[in-house]
């Protein structure tokens, strides 16, 4: 994470900052001290729903571009301990990789409401995926969902990245694909959901 060149402060315990990397990348950063994805506070019921706050803050990307970005071109991501550069929790708001979006479209019939491995993996290593039908993230907390249902996650949250990709499923239903990106050093997987899911140059918009 590099220094921001624009700040949009909120009065509800977090701030949205423009990262200098990428055309439209923003960061959601809690104003309280939270180490990162492994911080046990993130799994408590009284912790703010930071993913929903990131979702409703995607309008900053529209405002920066001066033109609305299609819902399905966006994404949210947080990295594992192995892939992050700062020890303060932050969620990346950016575009989705166009090749990943195509892969998810081709695989959507295999992505169910329960967590499963994406058939064939992604960029050489495993990804866990599940679908969620909804217009926003008010009904789900990806931190708690991954901890509760992805094998070995609760005891090793530091070894996972998490991403959320907006999606329009067959039948016209809006929803999301949730992604758990595990560290797998043997296969080169570092739990970098930002790298594996997002494209800060936003090729998908072209």
pLDDT exceeds 90 at position 90: yes
Q: Which two tokens stand for residue 23?
A: 């055309």
pLDDT of residue 122: 96
DSSP of 128-165:
EEEEEE-SSSTT--HHHHHHHHSTT-GGGGGGEEEEEE
Alpha-carbon distance of 159 to 162, in angstroms, equals 10
| Region 163-174 average pLDDT | 94
Mean pLDDT of 129-143: 95
Query: Is residue 84's pLDDT more than 50?
Result: yes
Quickly state the pLDDT bin for 1 (edges 50, 70, 90).
very low
Residue 2 scores a pLDDT above 60: no
CA angle 166, 171, 173 (to 5 degrees): 35
**All residues at 6 or more sequence positions from 156 whose CB lies less than 8 Å from its CB, including other chains:** none
Among residues 52, 71, 66, the alpha carbon closest in space to that of 143 is found at 52
CATH number, domain of 48, equals 3.30.428.30
Given a cut of 70, whether residue 141 has pLDDT beyond it is yes
Confidence of residue 11 (pLDDT cuts 50, 70, 90): low
Domain region containing 103: 4-205
β strands within the chain, DSSP E: 4-9, 14-19, 26-30, 74-78, 91-96, 116-117, 128-133, 160-169, 173-184, 189-190, 198-199
In the chain, how many H helices and how many E strands? 5, 11
Please tell me the total count of domains within the chain. 1
Q: Say yes or no to pLDDT of 89 above 60.
A: yes
Which position has the higher pLDDT, 164 or 206?
A: 164
Banded model confidence at residue 101, pLDDT cuts 50, 70, 90? very high
Residue 30, beta-bridge partner list: 14
Residues 78 and 179: beta-carbon distance below 8 Å: no
């Amino acid at each position: 994470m590099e220094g921001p060149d624009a700040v949009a402060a909120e009065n509800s315990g977090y701030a949205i900052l423009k990262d200098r990397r990428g055309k439209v990348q923003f960061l959601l950063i809690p104003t309280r001290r939270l180490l990162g994805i492994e911080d046990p506070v993130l799994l408590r019921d009284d912790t703010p729903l930071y993913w929903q706050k990131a979702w409703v803050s995607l309008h900053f990307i529209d405002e920066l571009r001066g033109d609305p970005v299609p819902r399905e071109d966006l994404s949210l991501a947080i990295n594992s301990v192995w892939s992050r550069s700062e020890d303060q929790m932050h969620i990346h708001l950016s575009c989705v990789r166009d090749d990943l979006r195509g892969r998810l479209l081709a695989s959507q019939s295999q992505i169910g409401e329960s967590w499963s491995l994406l058939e064939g993996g992604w960029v050489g290593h495993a990804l866990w995926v599940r679908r969620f039908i909804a217009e926003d993230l008010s009904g789900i907390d990806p931190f708690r969902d991954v901890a509760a249902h992805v094998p070995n996650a609760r005891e090793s949250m530091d070894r996972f990245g998490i991403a959320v990709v907006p999606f329009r499923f067959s039948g016209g239903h809006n929803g999301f694909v949730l992604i758990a990106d595990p560290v797998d050093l043997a296969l080169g997987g570092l739990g970098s959901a930002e790298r594996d899911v997002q494209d800060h140059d936003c090729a998908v918009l072209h």
